[in-house]
Amino acid sequence: MKRISLFLCTFFLICTSLFAAEANNSETTTQDNPEEKIESDYVYQMNQAGDQFIQLGINVNIPYAPSLDYLNVGGSGLLNYERYLTDSFSVGGTVAFGYDTTVGENVLYFVPIMGNVSYLFSVNKFEIPVTLNIGGAFENYIDRIYFGLAVEPEVGFYYRYSSDWSFGGHAGVFILPQWYSDSSDNYTGIIPNLGLSVRYHF
């Protein structure tokens, strides 16, 4: 009888130890692999703070002031860099080169160099950035050279083809005021533009 009691006690102690070890292992696995929990809670976002992109674009310029009575439809190209501060808000800079020919076969050149701020609206893989570019522009017409303020509000519409690439279009307005000591010579060029762009995200 004593042997049976001893055997039962030993068996009970072994079973208790095994169950305790199993529970311990289960807790350790959860603590040692927090990634499993993090992965289940993680929500993927297309853009996050610290993400960046480079944009290349070409535009068609449709002059408003001077009007088409004086300037023909022209073109421009742009190189833009931006960095996201949040998943929706980014800052960066743009360099553009534009031209419009006159009815007299002369050419107006302008080179805006601008900083920008953008706010991004996104729906699934479609992105709609609203951007304000502000800086200065070198302007040249025949023998006249002028450097002054350049402003360009812009809105875009892009399809995010992959995490690295997006393609789409944009519409903006180059606003190029010229201010002189004789205020009667002051003038503001207004040149709307429509364009296509490709953006590389990294």
Does the model's pTM come out above 0.85?
A: no
Share of the chain above pLDDT 70, in %: 78
* Domain-embedded: residue 149: yes
Query: What per-residue confidence (pLDDT) applies to 104?
Result: 87
Whether residue 30 has pLDDT greater than 70: no
Whether residue 76 has pLDDT greater than 70: yes
CATH number at residue 166: 2.40.160.20
Are residue 100 and residue 63 in the same domain, yes or no? yes
Share of the chain above pLDDT 90, in %: 71
Q: Per mean pLDDT, which range of 21-30, 79-88, 90-99, 159-168 is the poorest?
A: 21-30
In DSSP terms, which residues pair with 89 in a beta bridge? 119
* Domain-embedded: residue 137: yes
Query: What per-residue confidence (pLDDT) applies to 81?
Result: 98
Query: What per-residue confidence (pLDDT) applies to 54?
Result: 98
Domain span holding position 18? 2-41
Length of the chain: 202
Whether residue 39 has pLDDT greater than 60: no
How crowded is residue 27: how many other Cβ atoms within 10 Å of its Cβ? Answer: 9
Give, as one character, the DSSP assignment of residue 88: S
Query: What per-residue confidence (pLDDT) applies to 155?
Result: 98
Domains contained in the chain, number: 2
Is residue 128 within 8 Å of residue 155, measured between CB atoms?
yes
Are residue 168 and residue 143 in the same domain, yes or no? yes
Token representation of residue 62: 């449709």
Are residue 93 and residue 188 in the same domain, yes or no? yes
Q: Average pLDDT, stretch 156-178? A: 96
Are residue 75 and residue 26 in the same domain, yes or no? no
* Domain-embedded: residue 130: yes
Is residue 184 within 8 Å of residue 40, measured between CB atoms?
no
Are residue 130 and residue 68 in the same domain, yes or no? yes
Are residue 9 and residue 81 in the same domain, yes or no? no
Are residue 35 and residue 134 in the same domain, yes or no? no
